[in-house]
């Protein structure tokens, strides 16, 4: 049992006593957070007249953190209730929602429990085998729709791209990046990017559009912080024109590896920090009338961007 529980006997109160056991099946909830939450639950139980200890009934609480929600599993004997709570709100609101769901389950179980005795409590194995029922959150009896949930978000970022290191064409270009992601509760999903890179040289204007799509994986590394990596394929559209001359149009194949940190600032508001490495299948150069290169883009490029986005939805 994690944390220190308060064991009080209330012989003169006809309310059944409750034993409380709280666990987390991942590393998101540390022992200190579980102990604090368990102490808050104990205080609320005492306020409602439930003596804690003696264990006429034992309540087991498990916390499972998904990319955008928290699954709260509450067990009492043969009864099990599963609740899904959004984790995108403020932390105090999330804690109050967890406490409310557990208290409502305890009240429901106390009303239906007519047995004077409860079978001895068996501790939950924090590292069960795959066949153990404590991992059966995805079974049909445990709300299978949670395992099929999708979340969506979109964002706009601005930054710079390094297009070459060979002098005299070394330099950075501005970069505007629009992104969209659809991520399953398992962490896997699809990421897309659309970027615009304006550039140029003396008497030369260049505009490149970057379009790519591919599989993505997202993982929560803290309560409000997530990490996403994508492997995307697409096309690079290259437009260039000199003063009073026709526009040159070219299309190159490209592959990109965007890395993103997503910080949930508020509900439906996300801060994006992106680093992208990409490669195209050829370099591009433009020359003046004397045959001297005016502008060069290497086959590889690296970009950095920061922006804001909305999500996750729903």
With tokens 């194949």, the residue in question is 253
152's CB contacts (< 8 A; 6+ apart) are 180, 181, 182, 183, 311, 312, 313, 314
Tell me the angle at which helices 31-47 and 91-112 cross, rounded to the nearest 10 degrees.
Answer: 50
177-202 pLDDT per residue, tens: 999 999 998 999 999 999 999 998 88
Looking at residue 141, its pLDDT comes to: 47
State which H helix or E strand residue 35 sits in: helix 31-47
- Is residue 34 pLDDT above 90, yes or no? no
Q: How confident is residue 24, by pLDDT bands cut at 50, 70 and 90?
A: low
Which domains, from first to last, does the chain contain?
Answer: 18-148 (3.30.160.100), 150-313 (2.40.160.20)
**Cβ atoms 83, 69 nearer than 8 A:** no
User: 76-86, pLDDT tens digit by residue?
Assistant: 767 788 878 77
- State both tokens at 247: 């526009």
pLDDT for 111-159, tens place per residue?
655 455 555 656 665 555 555 444 444 444 444 444 458 989 999 999 9
User: Percent of the chain, pLDDT > 90?
Assistant: 35
Among 42-56, 82-96, 250-264, the least confident range = 42-56
Give the position of tokens 């659309």: 194
CA distance 104 to 114: 18
Tens digit of pLDDT for each residue in 240-288? 998 878 888 999 999 999 999 999 999 889 999 999 999 999 888 888 8
The sign one gets for the Cα dihedral 155, 158, 162, 168 is positive
At residue 213, the pLDDT reads 98
């Amino acid at each position: 049992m994690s944390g220190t529980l308060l064991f009080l006997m209330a012989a003169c109160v006809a309310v059944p006593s409750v034993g409380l056991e709280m666990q987390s099946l991942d590393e998101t909830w540390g022992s200190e957070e579980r102990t604090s939450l368990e102490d808050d639950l104990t205080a609320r139980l005492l306020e409602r007249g439930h003596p804690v200890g003696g264990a006429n009934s034992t309540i087991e609480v498990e916390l499972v953190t998904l990319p955008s929600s928290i699954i709260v599993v509450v067990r009492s004997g043969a009864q099990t209730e599963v609740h899904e709570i959004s984790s995108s709100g403020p932390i105090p609101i999330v804690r109050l929602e967890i406490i409310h769901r557990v208290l409502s389950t305890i009240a429901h179980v106390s009303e239906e429990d007519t047995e004077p005795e409860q079978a001895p409590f068996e501790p939950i194995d924090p590292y069960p085998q795959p066949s153990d029922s404590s991992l059966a959150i995805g079974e049909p009896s445990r709300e299978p729709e949670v395992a099929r949930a999708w979340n969506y978000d979109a964002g706009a970022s601005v930054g710079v791209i390094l297009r070459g290191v060979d002098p005299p064409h070394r330099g950075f270009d501005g970069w505007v990046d629009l992104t969209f992601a659809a991520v399953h509760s398992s962490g896997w999903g699809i990421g897309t990017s659309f970027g615009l890179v304006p550039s140029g040289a003396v008497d030369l204007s260049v505009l490149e559009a970057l379009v790519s799509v591919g599989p993505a994986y997202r993982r929560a590394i803290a309560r409000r912080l997530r990490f996403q990596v994508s492997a995307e394929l697409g096309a690079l559209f290259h437009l260039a024109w000199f003063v009073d001359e026709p526009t040159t149009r070219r299309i190159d194949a490209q592959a990109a590896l965007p890395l993103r940190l997503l910080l949930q600032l508020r509900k439906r508001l996300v801060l994006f920090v992106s680093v992208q490495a990409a490669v195209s299948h050829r370099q591009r150069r433009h020359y003046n009338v004397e045959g001297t290169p005016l502008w060069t883009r290497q086959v590889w490029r690296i970009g950095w961007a920061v922006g804001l986005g909305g999500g996750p939805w729903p």
